[in-house]
Amino acid sequence: MKLSTKGHYGLKAMYDLALHYSNDPIPLKTVAERQRLSENYLEQLIAALRKAGLVRSVRGAQGGYILAKPPEEITVGDVVRVLEGPIAPLECVSEEYIGDCDQFNYCISRNVWAKVRDSISDVLDSISLADMCREAKEIDQLRK
Amino acid sequence: MKLSTKGHYGLKAMYDLALHYSNDPIPLKTVAERQRLSENYLEQLIAALRKAGLVRSVRGAQGGYILAKPPEEITVGDVVRVLEGPIAPLECVSEEYIGDCDQFNYCISRNVWAKVRDSISDVLDSISLADMCREAKEIDQLRK
DNA sequence: ATTATTCCCTAGTTTATTACTAGGGATTTA
DNA sequence: TAAATCCCTAGTAATAAACTAGGGAATAAT
């Protein structure tokens, strides 16, 4: 029952872009350093996020990445779905499943995984990047 | 974001044992046939479940497996934890984590996965094998 | 113009895991 | 004693994860 690092790293990157959200693009190198991630690897992840329309890129010197929408309008679910594929603990509970499982319609254990999927989706879709930034601020307050 | 087949197959087997729960043990061969699983593979899974105390085994002819407790007292969470390890979308949100992540205490994305973990746990712990049997019966009723 | 910066793309690599298969031994009932 | 059954270990093929490496294309600053 595991996530890959893709979702985790990708979310960290998006969170970083949200924390520093402005009109100026942020170079990936900066993000990678701040979040301590491999830049080359992160490149691959953010490419997927760009193709999905969650970030915009600006090429050339002084270039970088910016969120395509304000942090309030991007949820963790959006990010995770791009990087990890559809949320589905098992293939056959994916919304996109076109399968050949002969027990499809009366598989009881399948119903269990469908419930799990729904609860994961609910959580991920209920948290925006802005929520994460807010939480970070609160934690910072408590420290002082 | 995937489960392995272990959890799925193992749950199917436990569900099968629950459906046919009585004083007599059920040979694994029967379970494997009914649930269409590889017997050899299932052996490995049920060995883990036995060591965890969820099923009892009876050796020799007329032997087989029986649930160690009535279906009401075994949850899906019990089964899944044995086969998939602790419920944790990421290592560092496992209860058992003894780690070296330097951002441990202020990693915001980690908090997200902790929420996911809790919601998965809630779902899995709220469903017993008996619940699954009941659901199967209801579906069967609707069909008639 | 040129150089430095940055995004962009693809291919290769290492390691681990998954999902088995295979086969033999131990135990018990008929 | 034979058949049924659990029990255990080792091997294996395929896949995916998590990168590394390196070069090309676009743009801004000089």
Identify the domain containing residue A118 by its residue range. 5-143
| Residue B85 vs residue A99, higher pLDDT | B85
Q: Name chain B contacts of A84, Cβ cutoff 8 Å.
A: 1
Q: Do B132 and A112 touch (CB under 8 A)?
A: yes
Q: Could you say which residues from 45 to 84 on chain B have a Cβ atom under 8 Å away from some Cβ of chain A?
A: 76, 80, 84
Where residue B50 sits, what CATH number does that domain have?
Answer: 1.10.10.10
Q: Which pLDDT score is estimated for B104?
A: 60
Q: Could you report the average pLDDT of every consecutive run of 10 residues in chain B (144 residues)?
A: 85 96 96 94 97 97 97 97 86 68 73 92 97 92 84
Question: Which nucleotide's C1' atom has the smallest distance to the CA of A3?
Answer: D17
Residues A107, B2 contacting (CB under 8 angstroms): no
- Cα–Cα distance for residue pair B73/A10, rounded to 1 Å: 40
Residue B63 contacts strand C, CB under 7 A? yes
What's the number of domains chain A is made of?
1
Minimal Cβ distance to A8: which of B109, B122, B127: B109
Protein residues with beta carbon less than 7 Å from any atom of strand D: A 4-6, 9, 38, 40-41, 43-44, 59-63; B 25-29, 40, 43-44, 46-47, 50, 57-65
pTM, whole model, 2 decimals?
0.91
pLDDT exceeding 70 applies to what percent of chain A? Answer: 91
Q: Over B56-75, what HEC string results? A: EEECCCCCEEEECCCHHHCE
